[in-house]
Amino acid sequence: MRFSTVAGNKGSADLARDVRGFAVKFYTKEGNWDLVGNNIPVFFIQDAIKFPDLIHAAKQEPDRGFPQAQTAHDNFWDFISLMPESINMALWIMSDRTIPRSFRFMEGFGVHTFRMINAKGKSTYVKFHWKPKLGLQSVAWNEAVKINGADPDFHRRDLWDAIQMGDFPEWELGLQLFDDKFADEFEFDILDATKIIPEERVPIRRVGRMVLNRTVDNFFNETEQVAFQTGNIVPGIDFTNDPLLQGRNFSYLDTQLKRLGSPNFNDLPINAPKCPFHTFQQDGHMTLNNPRGRANYEPNSWGEGPRESATGFSTFPEEIAAEKRRARGELFADHYSQARQFYLSQTAIEQTHIARAFTFELSKVETPAIRARVMSHLVNVDKALAQKVADGLGMELPKAAKPARPVIDDLPPSPALSIIENGPNDFKGRKLGILVSDGVDASLLDALETAAKKHGALVELVAPKVGGFTDSKDMERPAKQKVNGGPSVLYDAVAILVSTEGSTLLQSEATARDFIADAYAHAKFIAYSQEAAPLLEKAGAIADEGFLVLSKAADAEAFLRMCAKLRFWEREASVHAV
């Protein structure tokens, strides 16, 4: 499988606000099936003919070559403002979905509606989902900006470290299955890639699991050369008439031919099926196999080569009693109803983040008319949201854009769409950063490390010197990070365990104060020894219910239980930093 970003070039920072690619290649007994998806279940456009325009608008502007790996510029929002079908996706990308904490805490979606065909030839519609076993989690925007500076490879390093340590990331494969009757009664067209089917309407059936238990041996051979294509399916799966999917089936093959430079890219080890297969395909640039014999066609009189399989792929015989046109169904024209449903499905905290994200992005747009057009669409989504953004930009709220279809304003919220509502129940797989100094209480440090291990969390010790420190029992202990190289944005929760002398020393160290101030501003849970209190005060961190004083070893377990919530979001309104 391969994770990726979309807008940034190769090597761009991992924590850009961006859609993440989530692609999986199944080496089945009947050939390769590629589930080529994203971490967001909807897309910007409905027809693949607009794909080049979308990508051009999102990438760096052609006359200047910047900005890259970000959408906060005129061209992108000009395109969005002129394409109302993109508004639902705009709400998703302005949510915390596009700044995930880790690939390991991220959902995946096949986006399109496919068909599954049983042995009797019966078709059932299906949408594919990946559900992370560790729950959902994102970072705060201010945090993402600082992570990009501290470690631009943050997501890649996180995935690598987890696999190397044996903490294997795991997802469950889920199916949303429905029939023609549901499709006819649903408020939206099931072939519209800008829409979802809420899980509350069609529950997800979990049918399998994927465990990442090793990394690639060579990044270029296995990751750079892997060729994912939506057109790679196997018997039992078939396409629908989703116009975006049909376009991807063509363009992805074309892309691999250009990208890998040879029609024989499927013979590369990473792309070749693992099951026995034989074809008469041969020759061409960079041929990797060496066929023998006279016949290179079928049927032939020479008795050579493979024969057509009687059990191969067959297309579902769909009955159609209508004109065939290059046109979208009438329901495709509803561009605002599901965007509104998505927004109202978020917690108040997440709604605030969406409003701030729109405000930030549009503040980078230099053309007032573009900002006004975007705002006219937001009025149709939620007037309160639009007003918050308008107030943040210092502009008058424009009139609502005229919708092509009436907005359905009573769609019920879908709790499954909230990250906070679908977070983990424990601290497993997360990382605790402990700021220490010489003379740190050894019993408290040992207890905290033991409790973290019990809860399946990783601990990193951050010290004034990366060479290590000496604890209260005169034991020399190694550190993972030097204080100015291990900021708190790299961790999910922090603890400050220092001696009295260490507290005094670190009060004059700006990066130590930042370690605490950032953790406080980003609503993280903070544990501290009593000796660290003056250091917290110097950093401007005011203790609240998200803090815990560690006075005895038993307090460590209580702190790890607190951390199961991941963030103390009640603090956010008072710090205004995210």
Tally of CB atoms within 10 A around 73: 20
Whether pLDDT at 192 is above 90: yes
390 lies in the same domain as 533: no
Q: What is the CA radius of gyration of the chain?
A: 27
432 lies in the same domain as 552: yes
567 lies in the same domain as 540: yes
Q: Which of 267-271, 290-294, 486-490, 491-495 has the lowest mean pLDDT?
A: 290-294
Would 277 be classed as within a structural domain? no
Structure tokens at 360: 């930030």
pTM of the entire predicted model = 0.95
439 lies in the same domain as 363: no
**Burial group, residue 324, by CB count within 10 angstroms (0-12, 13-18, 19+):** exposed
How high is the pLDDT of residue 288? 86
Q: Which residues of 160-180 are buried (b: 16+ CB within 10 A; e: fewer)?
A: eebbeeebebbbebbbbebee
Give the pLDDT confidence of 308-352 residue by residue, as tens digits. Answer: 776 778 889 988 888 888 888 899 999 999 999 999 999 999 999
Cα angle, residue 431 at apex, residues 427 and 434 outer, rounded to 5° = 115
405 lies in the same domain as 430: no
Give just the sign of the alpha carbon dihedral 356, 358, 363, 368. Answer: negative
**How far does the chain reach from its first CA to its final CA, in angstroms?**
32
Whether pLDDT at 529 is above 50: yes
Q: What are the backbone angles phi and psi of residue 235, rounded to the nearest 5°?
A: -50, 135
Mean pLDDT across 403-426: 96
CA distance to 31, 112, 288, 526, 562, per residue, from 226 (Å): 15, 22, 16, 42, 42
469 lies in the same domain as 526: yes
How many whole angstroms separate alpha carbon 78 and alpha carbon 442? 58
467 lies in the same domain as 533: yes
Per-residue confidence at 182, pLDDT binned at 50, 70, 90?
very high
Per-residue confidence at 469, pLDDT binned at 50, 70, 90?
very high
Amino acid at 174: G
Would 480 be classed as within a structural domain? yes
Would 195 be classed as within a structural domain? no
Whether pLDDT at 492 is above 90: yes
Nearest Cα to 266, choosing from 248, 250, 284? 284
Mean pLDDT across 221-245: 95
403 lies in the same domain as 536: no
How high is the pLDDT of residue 237? 96
Would 544 be classed as within a structural domain? yes
Give the pLDDT confidence of 6-17 residue by residue, as tens digits. Answer: 998 888 999 999
How high is the pLDDT of residue 578? 46
Domain count, the chain: 2
Whether pLDDT at 392 is above 60: yes
Would 526 be classed as within a structural domain? yes
Mean pLDDT across 346-370: 98
Whether pLDDT at 468 is above 70: yes
440 lies in the same domain as 411: no
How high is the pLDDT of residue 475? 95
528 lies in the same domain as 385: no
How many whole angstroms separate alpha carbon 569 and alpha carbon 352? 12
363 lies in the same domain as 488: no
How high is the pLDDT of residue 471? 96
Nearest Cα to 382, choosing from 424, 341, 423? 341
CA distance to 212, 289, 351, per residue, from 389 (Å): 41, 59, 11
Question: 2: which residues sit within 8 A by CB, 6+ positions away?
Answer: 21, 23, 223, 226, 228
Question: Of the candidates 420, 453, 484, which is a domain's last residue?
Answer: 420
**Burial group, residue 85, by CB count within 10 angstroms (0-12, 13-18, 19+):** buried
CATH number of the domain enclosing 359:
1.20.1370.20
Mean pLDDT across 433-445: 97
Question: Of the candidates 402, 420, 438, which is a domain's last residue?
Answer: 420
Question: Of the candidates 393, 420, 447, which is a domain's last residue?
Answer: 420
Per-residue confidence at 576, pLDDT binned at 50, 70, 90?
low
Would 444 be classed as within a structural domain? yes
How high is the pLDDT of residue 335? 98
How high is the pLDDT of residue 323? 85
392: containing domain: 336-420
Per-chain mean pLDDT for the chain? 95
How high is the pLDDT of residue 321? 84
373 lies in the same domain as 443: no
Contact 132, 107 (CB under 8 A): yes
Give the pLDDT confidence of 89-136 residue by residue, as tens digits. Answer: 999 999 999 999 999 999 999 999 999 999 899 999 999 999 999 999
Would 471 be classed as within a structural domain? yes
Contact 468, 478 (CB under 8 A): yes
Would 317 be classed as within a structural domain? no
Listed as own residue / partner, the contacts of 344-348 with beta carbons closer than 8 Å and 24 or more positions apart are: 344/382, 344/413, 345/413, 345/414, 345/415, 345/416, 345/417, 345/418, 346/95, 346/417, 346/418, 347/418, 347/420, 347/421
Whether pLDDT at 304 is above 80: no
Amino acid at 211: V
